[in-house]
Amino acid sequence: MPQVYTGRFAPSPTGLLHAGSLVAALASWLDARAHGGRWYLRIEDVDTPRCVPGADQAILQQLADCGLVPDGPVVWQSQRADAYADALQTLVTKGWAYPCSCSRKDIESAQTVARHSAAVYPGTCRDGLGGKPARAWRLNVWAVQNALALPALTHWSDRRLGPQQQNVNEEVGDFVLRRADGLWAYQLAVVVDDAAQGITHVVRGQDLADNTARQVVLQHALGLPTPHYLHTPLVLGTNGEKLSKQNGAMALDLHNPHAALNALNTAAQVLGLSPTTEHSVQQALQQWVTQHSTQGC
Ligand code: GLU
């Protein structure tokens, strides 16, 4: 039986939606609607120190004000610890995850290559902790690739950016699954939840594209399917970087229908769609279908 298109929007409640995050929300909704699929919401609140109390409900209200209403129950990652623990246990049992005692300073002083200013983990604790206490848990990327006969270069295809590849082992290293502070890492949570929610199509901001190869490796390690990916253009802040609270993003006030329509039109333009009136959602969907085919992905 063919899989039913299932998409999602997965905001982190570290603040309200702004012009940049609405682009990803709208794109994921449009893509689901254009495929006659389902669209779900997941609140990614694993990084509790960065979460703003009440932002989750406020985001749901902002989305509802834009007419973006999920087709099923909302999932909160803070309620999914058991599923993440099971996944980690599966990896530990296979010998593909190991405890790490390194501090950030240890990693920086041992590293030779830097990428996006994040240190490449040099594999210090792969063969044991040397008597030091365990802090984080990491995926042994090489062990997974070797056991499953996966190539060193992870290939994946983006519906907008085209073919992509990354040598996760060399460019990132053994990445964290559970952090030293006990919190679940984004990579593990997102892979477990995309599978649990039956997500077939991930549509999200381009700033996250760089995480995809890691997620593909983790999907293989956990025996989970790899969804189709589409990374949407970013809205840039005044400093030329991705729009965020730090560079001037304003929380969108979408209470009145006019404000919501304006914000949606601005987001639609970032996606290369022409402005619409409230009666022409159909037109936006048609344009979207023309621009984004899933064929060949
Ligand atoms: N929670 C992430 C964010 O708000 C999105 C993660 C994802 O879509 O994979 O940036």
CB 156 within 8 A of CB 202: no
Q: What is the DSSP letter of 53?
A: T
- From CA 121, how far away is CA 233, in angstroms rounded? 29
Tell me phi and psi for residue 176, to 5 degrees: -80, 135
pLDDT tens-place string over residues 144-155: 999 999 999 999
pLDDT tens-place string over residues 156-168: 999 999 999 999 9
- Mean pLDDT of the 3-8 span: 94
Residue nearest to atom 7 of ligand 1 (CA): 10
Confidence band, pLDDT 50/70/90 cuts, at residue 64: very high
Q: What is the mean pLDDT of the chain?
A: 90
Tell me phi and psi for residue 69, to 5 degrees: -115, 130
Residues in the chain: 297
Which of these, 292, 250, 260, lies nearest to 69 by C-alpha position?
260
Task: Report CA(20)–ligand 1 centroid distance (Å).
Answer: 12
Residues near ligand 1 with C-beta < 6 Å?
10-12, 44, 190, 204, 208
What amino acid occupies position 245? K
pLDDT tens-place string over residues 84-119: 999 999 999 999 999 998 877 776 666 544 444 567
- From CA 178, how far away is CA 171, in angstroms rounded? 20
